[in-house]
Amino acid sequence: MAPERQHGHPKCPPVHVGVGVGVGVGVGVGVGVGVCMWAWVWAWVWAWAWAPLLFLLHFDFEDFSCLRSPEHACTRIDLPRPLTCWGPEWYLVRIELTVMDVNDNAPEWTMVPYPYLAVVSPDAPTGTLVYKLHARDGDEGSNGEVEYILSDGGDGRFEVDRKSGHVRTTGLPLQRERDYLLTVVAADMQASRSIPAVLSVVAGARAPQFTNTSYTIAIPENTPEGQP
């Protein structure tokens, strides 16, 4: 049966209070009157010594959790329900967990165009920016933070900033017209890695690179020569 509600809150289970004190006082007074002064004194001491224990044995911890839980705020204290002695599950605590995000996405490269090509002067000074790597991770929070790693190539002449993904020269001499191939990966904070990307860096001149593989335009009929 569903618990009753009073003032918008569920009815709190009754709490057994005062049993030990009541029994102790009653026993003490009764024995004292019926026997003698010394018996009354000893009965009084005995009753008060056992009163806390009787109180604890009749106090239900589930009721106590109701008293201190905001969503089960008590509005009254009733007569006691049957003795439970804490109940079989007094040591259990209910915990609810909400999973905000699962690290189920690996970083993906977003640079265009492809293939990834760059050029640098053979006489470039140390720290010259050559290329900007960028990857996106679909996870949230720390699971979506990406680091960039140079895993192979470059002969030590290039370095990759782990946070920004910027590829820069290290200052070692570059061989003119040589094509340096750098293999890089992107990884999130939980070690999920992207597929490797290869960056081609030529120390010198390189033919222009188109950003698209094909282009389509429309030209009206009889358009004069030299029109854009």
Where along the chain do its domains lie? 5-72, 108-203
Q: What is the CATH number of domain 108-203?
A: 2.60.40.60
Give the model confidence (pLDDT) of 76-134 as tens digits: 444 444 444 455 666 677 888 777 666 678 899 999 888 999 999 999 999 999 999 99
Q: Which residue has the higher pLDDT, 92 or 27?
A: 92
pLDDT at 49: 63
Given a cut of 60, whether residue 9 has pLDDT beyond it is no
**HSE, side-chain direction, 13 A CA sphere, residue 192:** 19
Global pTM reads 0.52
CB 145 within 8 A of CB 162: no
Candidate from 42-51, 120-129, 215-224 with smallest mean pLDDT: 42-51
Quick check: 51 pLDDT over 60?
Answer: no
The two tokens of residue 138 are 């679909």
At 82 the pLDDT is: 43
pLDDT digits (tens, 9 = 90+) for 138-197: 887 777 789 999 999 999 999 999 999 999 999 999 999 999 999 999 998 877 899 999
Average pLDDT (9-19) is 41
**18: pLDDT strictly greater than 80:** no
